[in-house]
Structure 1
Amino acid sequence: MSSLEDLLDTPQIQFNTYLGFGGHLTKGLHLLPNGQELVYAAGNQIAFLRIQEKPDKEKLNKVQPLTRRVGGGAAPPRQRAFGGTTNAPQASRILTSTQKKPVFEEPETLDVPPQEDNNIIVPGSLVRPVLVSGHKYPITAMSLSASGKYLISGTQSPVGAPAEIIVWDVEQKKPLNIQKQHKGSITDIVISPDESFFVTLGEDNLMVVYPISAEYHHPLYTPLAGRQFVTPKPLTAMICVNPNLLIIGGDDFLTFVSVDLKGRTLSDNPVRVPIRRRYSCFKLVGDFVYGGTEQGDVLKIDFQKQTALQSCPSKKPFVGAVTSIVGNDQNNVICSTTAGRVYLIRTDTMTPVSSNEIATQTGASQATATTSALQLSAASLSAASPLARCVSANATGISCMATCENSKYAYAIGPNALARVNKSSLESRLLQTAPPTIVSPAGIQSLSTPIDTSRIYVSGCGSFVSVWSSQTGVELLRINVPNVFCNCVQLTPDGSQIISAWSDGCLRSFAPQSGKTIFCLQNVHAGGVTAFSLSRDGAFCFTGGEDSKVCVVDVCTQQVLQVCSGHRGRINSVTTQLVANNQQELVTGCQSGFVQHFHIIQQGNQCQIKPIWNSRAEGDVKGCAELEDGSQVIACGSGGLTWFSCGKNAGAVVRALPLVAGGTSLCKEERGDVCKIVIGCADGHIFVVDWDTGKIEKQLCVFCGQVSTCCVREGTVFCGGVDGGIVSFDLWE
């Protein structure tokens, strides 16, 4: 395929599950007014996720003693601090075991909503979002209108190109218009309360107003007015208080902008606040605006008098920067921080009355005493990562919170987790985790499944190795090796070990249930182990590294049996294949484009590889595979797909297929005489190609950036991207 136009008629793949979200964005999560559907950014995709839940009857029927007294010492401290008084001292009465019917059949008998989270999330529902495409670059900011009719998203600005702004119809899930007015990435987007216009703010400190209703007699969604702010540092946050007033904040910068769109005039009134602050978010609750700061406090702002009144806490600030603010039913506010905590603040006294640590870390077993991904500093982000170039991004704790009037919960999202928070009690529940790609510039580096099932899979991401359930999306185990990166991971055929290759040149083996280290073989390759594959019985491991060498390792004795040269540059692919007469063969590909083919000679406790042929492909080689009959080898890389002949014309190029973007990963599966190839590309495309004809049969594009790895088992394909997403689909349907 030489151009994108050639792919227009290629059928789209319907994926089964998608795991991952842009949890690093401080303005990337919203809850629809019905309180049952989340909207969040996933790379350059908009994801709509319905929260499917059912009541936990066992919890609702649980008998509890009558010990509550409103205003007395027996009441929990948080219950007394919710704000406001009550004239019904028995309103929180709990029914006893003498009741005739269970509580869940008569919820109306309780005047006060239960503070405990009594709902069960339907297993697997959180990994099946509806993904909507439209953006070319990663999303940096989103805004949802009050009625839930419009969703507006903005992207980062690549070098030499403007940022994209798309207006979406939420009900139809389709774009209405696209604008490109900013030279820098989009910092914030707000929609007026009456849904008559929306405003975008960019890194270039340019504010642009666009109409979304016909009352201004101006073409919809096109710029109506704008204002360039002169300040040495980028503006960071914005809020539309009413159709006539905007508040914009930055680093020691706070201004009130009066809006007259019928006269097409904007006038601002900068205000000097007594304390120097960098504003990260704003929220209108009641008659006041509350602004969160990166210094760790919340300011109460009177927008009518255009002045700041109070700050909370008054003395020692919260730990971490304030990333998001939401209101609850008592007109109090809840703020989240980069330290992973939420605080309930009484708005009348501006004092924090309760706090809780949100479960933004994985609920899986921690295999080692290690540093959490949410506690790593933003300095660990590499400039090579697309996430590092996003504005309004956060690498730790809670990045964003969202709620609505019809929900008793607020939803909190972090770099690798999604949690639910009770707006009154701050009780939290972890809903879903995702790979911690915020700390890995390469995203998902490797995926692997057991040899006999596709119900679970293993991922390597940064310094983490995780075991996942493919059906529910639950993270079953997380293993962390600090200060190194996992380049490749596989399960042994008997499922007794997880063997992984690391950037420090080590091979590490872990128990798949406990995560305990079985062995660590050091100094296998200078510069790091970049790829490996196991023999059919799992007794031997064939590795490739940065040093351009191929090694044979005895897994049982942890000894290097053989070292082979011949490649030039980093070895990107090492695959084994069982061919006729139970003979095993090995194919390797490297950065310089060389492909080598070996016989595997295995006798008892000894194993060695013997070269058969070597050849060269166009560009580099990222992935290799061999047919079960041993007649052909295929390689993918920057030059596309290349088929090599084995046997008599060993190493001869049979044919080549150019791709829209360079190939970055490859896997294949055979059924009878038919073989399908799955190709991952640098632009995020996934192609299913027929081996014999070389025809692209299906395509899928859900990743922002390259597809870094793919594997297939029992007809189920798993692909991982540099943006941290993992997608699965059926190969043969």
Structure 2
Amino acid sequence: MAGNPENPIGVPQLELEATIGFEGRILGGLKVHPDRQHLVYALGCTVVIEDIQSGKQEFLTGHTNDVTCITISKSGRYIASGQLTYMGFKADVIIWDFETRSLHARLVLHKVKVEALVFSPNDAFLVSLGGQDDGAVVVWNVARKEAICGSPAQVESAGVTHCVAYANNDEFLFVTGGNHTLRVWELDVENRKIRPTDVNMGQVKRVVKCIEMLDDDKFFYCGTTTGDIIAINTQTRLFQHVGPAKELFSQGISSLAILKTGEVICGAGDGTVSVCGTLDQKFKRTKRMQKLDGPVTSLALRGQGHQFFAGTGKSHIYKFNLTEFTHELINTCHYSAVNDVSFAFGRSDLFVTCCYQDIRVWHLESNKELLRITVPNMTCNAVECARDGHSIVSAWDDGKIRTFYPESGRVMYTIENAHNKGVTALALTSDCRHIISGGGEGQVRIWEISEGYTMKGARITTRLVEALKEHKGSVTCIRIRKNDSECVSASTDGTCIIWDLK
């Protein structure tokens, strides 16, 4: 144990039991496994495999930084994931064995970021696309765990390449697309070369964000930031059609899925999920349309597409019924940094989290959201559950302390201008009559909460008891002793101060 370089002092490692969340900002970051029983998605440095029926989660850990792309082989035997790293360092591609949930190969060649990944139809090859600082496309031999060949992904005059797609029936043909670049590649394994052909687009200029191949490989469709779909003939490498002509998708098309009927499901940047007609129908938009919360970044068909899943940039996963075109939210979480976590007093199954714009109450055993409190365009820096269970007290960057009812999420009372540079930390005494808050300016303030009665009924009043000025930087944390006689505050100035509250 002591000789393990990852754990030099022999401390037992914590095992991850469950996660609540989904990294929705990865384009194509939500996949349905070919066995139709599992969802695969990224969350931070981890790849999550979740059973669709039971919700049971398994984790693939091995990345050293955020996962940026995921793909699953056609047979379902392998999962591949790429990551982000720091400038000047190599970014890993990891191939996982799905059956054993173990690492099959770690492939290191790209710099800084892996942009996209795709397997060949028979699992023989993996194509990886480097990010803006790398700009290379590399073909790997999956069995030998080595690179076959590589090439710059685009000509120097073109922009960044964003996506890659493999032919469904040809082991030696794949496509890349991006900023004013669209190329069809042929793999020559014997000579260890890949030969690109630029698609002749004529006068059409587009930025491609996603590519999907038809089952017979005759055409491939590209979703663009303009909000339309481009159809390209795979054999001739010629531009075929662009549509819908008049009803463009707002904020561009960020994900595509092709149904067996030839119709196309489009996910747009404004949250629209819509079914468009076939190529012969010029991709005309149908009446089947739904609006989701956040840009649609992933569309994953389950089986033939009778059911499909949509992931959004606000970390929501929706399940769709294709026939009725109805949807339900099956997974949700914060989509920005979680600033604080607080358990309800005496309860291990209820906890509260906060971040930009919202506070959420969670049930631990089911991993489900019970309540969401939203304050638009504000960041909640700290949250605390009152010991009596009657309120949730929160600290906000607009300088206010807001207290909410835990059942309904309605505002109980607000302390205006609690601190000049935002409220950054808070704590409650055990009798729930005093709030101790810390601010961005470095002050620790004590507030008294009292309940009075007026002609209109009960009314809660707040009063500033004391302002303690000692810290030079913003207050990051406050903790109170059990007997409420003292508290300790920590600050970005590197100091911790114990205060006498009596």
Q: Please, what TM-score do these two structures have when normalized by structure 1?
A: 0.63
String of CA shifts for 1:491-523, please: whole Å, max 9, x gaps.
212222211111122111112222222222122
Equivalent position amino acid for 1:495 in 2: G
Separation in structure 2 between the aligned mates of residue 252 and residue 5 of structure 1, nearest angstrom: 44
Q: Give the aligned partner of residue 285 of structure 1.
A: 214
Task: Sort the Cα spacing of 1:16 and 1:177 in 2 relative to 1 into closer, same or farther, 3 A.
Answer: closer
1:16 to partner: Cα distance: 4.1
2:373 pairs with 1:479:
yes
1:13 to partner: Cα distance: 2.7
String of CA shifts for 1:8-44, please: whole Å, max 9, x gaps.
7332334443111211111212111111101101111
Q: Give the aligned partner of residue 421 of structure 1.
A: 320
Q: Give the aligned partner of residue 384 of structure 2.
A: 490
Q: Sequence identity of aligned pairs in percent?
A: 27
Q: Give the aligned partner of residue 255 of structure 1.
A: 183
- The correspondence of residues 689-708 of structure 1 with structure 2, limited to 5 A, is none
Task: Sort the Cα spacing of 1:308 and 1:21 in 2 relative to 1 into closer, same or farther, 3 A.
Answer: same
- The correspondence of residues 12-27 of structure 1 with structure 2, limited to 5 A, is 12-27=13-28
String of CA shifts for 1:410-456, please: whole Å, max 9, x gaps.
1111132111112344221111111121xxxxx11011122121222
5+ residue gaps, structure 1, are 53-121, 214-219, 362-373, 375-396, 438-442, 602-733
Task: Sort the Cα spacing of 1:253 and 1:161 in 2 relative to 1 into closer, same or farther, 3 A.
Answer: same
- The correspondence of residues 268-279 of structure 1 with structure 2, limited to 5 A, is 268-273=196-201, 274-279=203-208
Separation in structure 2 between the aligned mates of residue 5 and residue 516 of structure 1, nearest angstrom: 47
Q: Give the aligned partner of residue 155 of structure 2.
A: 230
Separation in structure 2 between the aligned mates of residue 527 and residue 420 of structure 1, nearest angstrom: 42
5+ residue gaps, structure 2, are 451-460
Separation in structure 2 between the aligned mates of residue 561 and residue 153 of structure 1, nearest angstrom: 55
Selected match of 2:473 from 561, 569, 573: 569
2:118 pairs with 1:190:
yes
Q: Give the aligned partner of residue 233 of structure 2.
A: 302
Separation in structure 1 between the aligned mates of residue 323 and residue 8 of structure 2, nearest angstrom: 51
Q: Give the aligned partner of residue 83 of structure 2.
A: 155
Equivalent position amino acid for 1:333 in 2: V
1:407 to partner: Cα distance: 5.8
Q: Give the aligned partner of residue 455 of structure 2.
A: none
More strand by share: 2
Equivalent position amino acid for 2:284 in 1: T
2:135 pairs with 1:205:
yes
Equivalent position amino acid for 1:146 in 2: K
Q: Matched residue of 1:483: which SS?
A: strand
1:153 to partner: Cα distance: 0.9
Equivalent position amino acid for 1:275 in 2: V
Q: Check conservation: 2:260, 2:304, Cα contact below 8 A.
A: no
Separation in structure 1 between the aligned mates of residue 490 and residue 209 of structure 2, nearest angstrom: 47
1:254 to partner: Cα distance: 1.3
Q: Check conservation: 1:22, 1:40, Cα contact below 8 A.
A: yes
- The correspondence of residues 661-680 of structure 1 with structure 2, limited to 5 A, is none
String of CA shifts for 1:244-300, please: whole Å, max 9, x gaps.
222111112112112211222222111231321111111112332111111111112
Q: Check conservation: 2:45, 2:64, Cα contact below 8 A.
A: yes
Selected match of 1:518 from 391, 397, 412: 412
Q: Give the aligned partner of residue 458 of structure 2.
A: none
Q: Give the aligned partner of residue 543 of structure 1.
A: 437
Q: Check conservation: 1:336, 1:400, Cα contact below 8 A.
A: yes
Q: Give the aligned partner of residue 338 of structure 1.
A: 269
String of CA shifts for 1:647-680, please: whole Å, max 9, x gaps.
xxxxxxxxxxxxxxxxxxxxxxxxxxxxxxxxxx
- The correspondence of residues 378-389 of structure 1 with structure 2, limited to 5 A, is none
1:474 to partner: Cα distance: 2.2
Q: Matched residue of 2:25: which SS?
A: coil
Q: Give the aligned partner of residue 51 of structure 1.
A: 52
Equivalent position amino acid for 1:183 in 2: K
Query: Higher RCO, 1 or 2 (CA under 8 Å, sep at least 6)?
Result: 1
Selected match of 1:239 from 165, 173, 182: 165
1:315 to partner: Cα distance: 2.0
Q: Give the aligned partner of residue 10 of structure 1.
A: 11
1:230 to partner: Cα distance: 2.3
Task: Sort the Cα spacing of 1:292 and 1:38 in 2 relative to 1 into closer, same or farther, 3 A.
Answer: same
Q: Give the aligned partner of residue 666 of structure 1.
A: none
- The correspondence of residues 429-508 of structure 1 with structure 2, limited to 5 A, is 429-437=328-336, 443-508=337-402
Separation in structure 1 between the aligned mates of residue 63 and residue 48 of structure 2, nearest angstrom: 12
2:491 pairs with 1:593:
no
Separation in structure 1 between the aligned mates of residue 182 and residue 332 of structure 2, nearest angstrom: 36
2:283 pairs with 1:355:
no
Q: Matched residue of 1:266: which SS?
A: strand
Q: Check conservation: 1:448, 1:490, Cα contact below 8 A.
A: yes
Q: Matched residue of 1:262: which SS?
A: coil
Equivalent position amino acid for 1:452 in 2: G
Task: Sort the Cα spacing of 1:187 and 1:16 in 2 relative to 1 into closer, same or farther, 3 A.
Answer: closer
Q: Matched residue of 1:289: which SS?
A: strand
1:46 to partner: Cα distance: 0.7
Q: Give the aligned partner of residue 55 of structure 1.
A: none
Give the count of matched residue pairs: 478
Task: Sort the Cα spacing of 1:479 and 1:183 in 2 relative to 1 into closer, same or farther, 3 A.
Answer: same
Q: Give the aligned partner of residue 675 of structure 1.
A: none
Which protein has the larger Cα radius of gyration, Structure 1 or Structure 2?
A: 1
Q: Check conservation: 2:163, 2:209, Cα contact below 8 A.
A: yes
Q: Please, what TM-score do these two structures have when normalized by structure 2?
A: 0.91
- Deviates further, 507-516 or 35-44: 507-516
Task: Sort the Cα spacing of 1:195 and 1:5 in 2 relative to 1 into closer, same or farther, 3 A.
Answer: closer
Task: Sort the Cα spacing of 1:426 and 1:149 in 2 relative to 1 into closer, same or farther, 3 A.
Answer: same
